[in-house]
Structure 1
């Protein structure tokens, strides 16, 4: 299994190196002032990581693209360790459309 660090490195090389930060009904890519609603983003690739011996290693990386061409990623644990400290996360990510690209 490829480690998360390698996936993030590969995404960065392909222009997806900015982290998406969800702040309520909007989100923004780190370092970019533009804000986006979930409908303005598309999940283009999902990478899931399952810890064989430690449930804390369960995480997901979403490669995302905005309608205006900005690209980045969203990293989060799932299951017991999901992003429960962000009350907007679940509703926001559920509303992001998906159009998976195999070449990423």
Structure 2
């Protein structure tokens, strides 16, 4: 049986999502909602569930610290939100953190997704 390759970088995970057709980035709009760019859907926090969180730390520059949230919507579609840590957050909209805090979390084993 082939062992899954451990993914340790942001680019490895994003590439795997792309290969699986799951490269639906979800970004905050100017109107305080999240929009799935690949699926062209508008989301409220209750429409999404965070199913996995990946944190990446840069070797020397704190600006390289980032987080990737994998989400599933109510239709079973997978998407992701990317952000940097804390004061280096790349999200300019003030509602981003509040929106993220309202999304329920259900940490799941995603081995099937990344086979």
d(CA) in 2 for partners of 1:19, 1:84: 14
- Alignment RMSD (CA, Å): 1.8
Q: Which residues in structure 2 correspond to 1:17-28 (within 5 Å)?
A: 17-23=23-29, 24-28=31-35
Q: Which of 52, 55, 71 is equivalent to 1:64?
A: 71
Q: In structure 2, what is the equivalent of residue 4 of structure 1?
A: 10
1:43: how far off?
0.5
Q: Deviations over 1:5-61 (max 9, x none)?
A: 101112223343110011244212104332110011001111000123110111000
Question: Is the Cα–Cα contact under 8 Å of residues 32 and 96 in structure 2 kept in the other structure?
Answer: no
Structure 1: runs of 5+ lacking an equivalent: none
- If the length of structure 2 is used for normalisation, what is the TM-score? 0.80
Counting matched residue pairs gives: 104
Question: Is the Cα–Cα contact under 8 Å of residues 64 and 84 in structure 2 kept in the other structure?
Answer: yes
**Greater RCO (CA < 8 Å, at least 6 residues apart):** 1
